[in-house]
Structure 1
Amino acid sequence: MTENRPRMKTNDLYVFELPEEIFRSLELMVFDSTVTEIETDQRKSLTKADLDQQNETLDLQGGCRTCENALGSTPERKAHYKTDYHRFNIKRKLNNLPPISSDEFDILAENDDVESLSGSDSNSDSEDDLYNEDKDKLSSILEDQIATMRVTEESETGIESHLNTRSPQIYFKSKFLPEDQVLGAYKALFSKSTIENALETIQNWNHSTSSKAGFENPYSALFMVGGGHFAGAIVSHKRLNIKGNMTKGNESMQERAVQFLEHKTFHRYTTRRKQGGSQSAMDNSKGKANSAGSSLRRYNETALRTDIQQLLQQWQPYLKNCENIFIRAKSTSDRKIFLDASACLDKNDARIRSFPFTTKRPTGHELKRAWCHLAYLHINKRPQADVKAKVVAEKFDNQRASKITSFPKVEDPDDIHTRELISLLKKSRAPALISYLRKNDLNANFKLKPQDDYYQTPTMLHYASQQGLKNMVLILLSNLKCDPTVQNSNGKTPWELTKKTEIRQAFQVARHNLGENFTDWNASRIDVPMSREDVDAINEKEKQMLELEKARLMKEELSAAKERQRLEKEARRGPGKILAPQLSSFQQNNNSLSDNQRMRLMREQRARAAEARMKLNANKQ
């Protein structure tokens, strides 16, 4: 069966004009670092009516609101205001701590050995010095209390605050909403001092009828700039009465109720279409362009800056006394328009804030939409605890507790020596390595620790051989006289841990330098000794052979490339084709004659042939 809750209208959620029943139903939600809800203390969750009733009772009784004590006559109240007890409760109130009773203060003063806080000690040099001394004592007591309270809270429940929402909003519970829904108010509406007491701040907003300068209603400033567009407005916290007005298709009821005391929008051509960014940004990234369009955009950027700063100067009386100043700037250069030396705004002004949500192109309608989105309470789903963060926090607490309870582990000196020696080996700092061994009276065959980490390289010579440190191999063998026959857990000597020719040659050179009587070289498995000259000759010969082989390969590759080019050329050209049958010259001439000319030609040819036969027969006779 569903509960019959009164319906909450959106128009009633304006944070500066909340209905009384809605405000009384608000309860500030407190969370820990993992966004797990913490039940608030009864004192923190007092409603507006309870606070008013409590203050009225104290006023009727002539009591002190700070100490929450009922006082009698006027002289008694004056004497109370001068006591250290009252001053101490004022300090607690400034640090968001509840007041303490006079008996608790007396016990606290006795425990902290505070004597003569009221200034009755005759040995004081002056009244001012005594007051400052008493003030320091009170401050030290309060600081100890705050530190103790923070340590207790962090050790038991962690940091608890209504600001731990991991959201730009703070949340309130209300009886007008289901259990899975809450009301959210943007943190940007509050200053650093007022957000600590959010419910009291909202109460002051709903009962405040005058701003700082004594105007009829408080107001705020809204500014948006980007892409050459600018929109600015001075918006009153009091809404307009729109009953009986005609509706507009593109505005909601909340937007039509926004009251602008001043507003201005203008645009200048500062950004090339579809290119993105201002002309100054393009100049800084790609260099200064010399086109007519770029010159126009640079001029318009300067003009836009001048127009905005002139408008700020005109609105300076408003800006001096407004409650909040919200600025939306697309880039750092746009934001400097409001905060540089030519503007009337101070960059350290606590009233300057940014819109905590994304906005569209700066227009007058967008200013109204942004203000409504900012100044109205939002109905959201109840925030869920971050399970992963909670598990990590518990694990961290357990680790911290184990570190506190466990005794500090004493590190083995051999481990420290191993770290230093390995560091010097990697850097090939031979003089420093020799100096460190002599200073700490360490042997050249020092066993590296811990053994589990260095089971393959138990000595410095093993490590240098495996890592390919040629110079250090020579130094360790020739200078420090390390034993090359030492074997690791797998039965391998330093010589067998390397596969590089240059390291093997370093071992052979060291064997030549030390002589055959230095150790059992067969046990070290090092190859035959060689002098530096022999090594250089072998390396030079191998270098020449490599160069010859390289030249031969290059020649073969060049010949193969030429052959490939020849074959590709022939393949492209081909054997050719006969496009038409070849005709004899007689056939070509005959084809060009007419029929009569062809018949006459044929008769003449037959006659010539007959004459030739007759002549041939006459010669035979």
Structure 2
Amino acid sequence: MALHVYSLPESLLDSLTPRNLVADPQPRTPSPTVASTSTTGSRACNFCNGAVFTDVEEQRQHYRSDWHRYNVKTRANGGQAVSELEFANLVDALEDSISGSASEDSDSEESDEDAVDTLVSKAKRKNRSTSPSQNAPTMQQSAVAWFHSPPATQIGVYRAIFNTGVPQSEYLAELKDIQHTERTWAMFMVAGGHFAGAIIRVSRETEPEEDGPQKKKKQKKPKTDTEVLKHKTFHRYTTRRKQGGSQGLNDNAKGPAKSAGAMLRRYGEQALRDDIRNLLQEWADDLYACERIWIRATGTNRKIFMDYDGCVIEKGDGRLRTFPFPTRRPTLSEVGRCLMELTRVKTSHFTEEALRAQDEAYLASLPKPKPAPVFVAPTLPAKPKPVKLSKEEEILRDKWSRLLEMVGKGRLEPLKTFWEREGEGLGGVDAPIPVWTGEKRATLLQVAARSGHDDVTEWLLETLHADPTIDVPLGRMEDADSDDSASDAPKLPKGGRRTAYDITRSRAVRDVFRRCAGVHPEWWDWFGAARVPSALSKEMEDERDDKKKTRRKGLKDKVKEREAKTKPAPEAEPELPIVAPKPSSGPIGSQRLGGSSGATEGVAGLTPEMRAKVERERRARAAEARLKGLAK
């Protein structure tokens, strides 16, 4: 037997217990029951406790008040509704806390709206601070709330039927309170240009009582579970056949189309919007008395019902609901089917052992809670305190910086002048370069050799007698990119010692080392500790230059021979017979102004055969001239 959600048997209600509390989040602070008092009905507010109205106009004013809007938003966030006195105290406390911060000429309506939003935000933060740990596993809630009746009966009711913000632990109490009471619903559906709307009584009235046992007249049949009080359906051409989507969405995506069909569809959308809003205005009194307002519409079509000037349904109205199941094309029969789906109780038959097994399997399928991340503040390394230098140290550092700059850039003349004045104070030519300079070499000779300045290197070796046997500091892998292909220095094993000669980049600098080793062999251990491969004398340099010149000359001769072989031999020009031109028999005055061309004079008086031969010879000579130009 099908059961109606608003007329369940009392025996069944007394045996019910909440079924799926395992999937319900932690219970919030219980809010007062809003539909259990005798004042609940068409002239009472289901969100504001104790709010009863004498007429429709008073009810409309209440729905526009800040007290009602605060309770609706608070209940939607899982909070607890407050009385009108408590709301006034909250507003007074809020005004005291922000007194003097608002502008005196601000709009009162905006201030009231800000006050309501501020109070709701404070309530949210308070609920969040008192909420349980966020590490609990997230459990999905179904659209149906289930109740168990021993030994093996379960009934399910859609959660959307209950008031917003009521925790699942209070569903059973509210289900008992809503039995046998008069209530009406408004149901609207719009899609694809089709609209269907109805205002329906969804609770069964009490059956008529008999006057006495002796009267056996024909009894009146009890009214059905539901009754359609008002209904309306209409259709407008808004979508292109077999294409889908409204014309407005297509215009927003691709720009406004200019076809006749597009204009008709735009007109249909506007007409559909006007028809629905006019219908809502006609049913305004009935809508204010409805307990629930069900709307099936997409985001664009939903704007038809609310959020416009003079709208009957407020955007934040707590009575608004969406259908918690798929629906078909909006028709009056579909509205009836949806109503039947909402008001008919779902039933199942499982034993308590089977239900317990289902709960255990469900809890086992939930993901394990992740441990709360422990935030460890990163320990930043202590910044080194700047070292305070004395005046003498600052002067010394400035001298070293200037000296290294002149050596690295090869500025020999300023370097000589600077060294004559400051050389002894810096410790001599072989003094180690201080670490604080950031220089990767150990001596000035190594810096000059690495930079490739042969004149500075020669001055350091010949004049200042710089030591070429000092090792280059290890771990400088950037020196490995030197031009070893042209170097005379031997290859070093990885990690071996290096000297100034090993890090040179150019042949000119290496020749400076070899030349100095040949001229002054007694100064240093050139071929051992300094790693210079051999000495270089004047005769060796001249011999090397001669070999280089001879090699270049031989290369030039080979190139000339190759060009001579590839050059074609000139052909002998054939001798042409000399033919005397015949004198012109015509008068001189008959000649064309400017004279005749050279080509015409050369063949004048010749026979056609001779002219053709001369023309062939001219073309052959022109071809030979072009070939000669290409061969050069």
- TM-score where L is the length of structure 1: 0.42
TM-score for both structures, normalised by structure 2: 0.41
Structure ranking higher in helix proportion: 1
**Which structure has the larger Rg?**
2
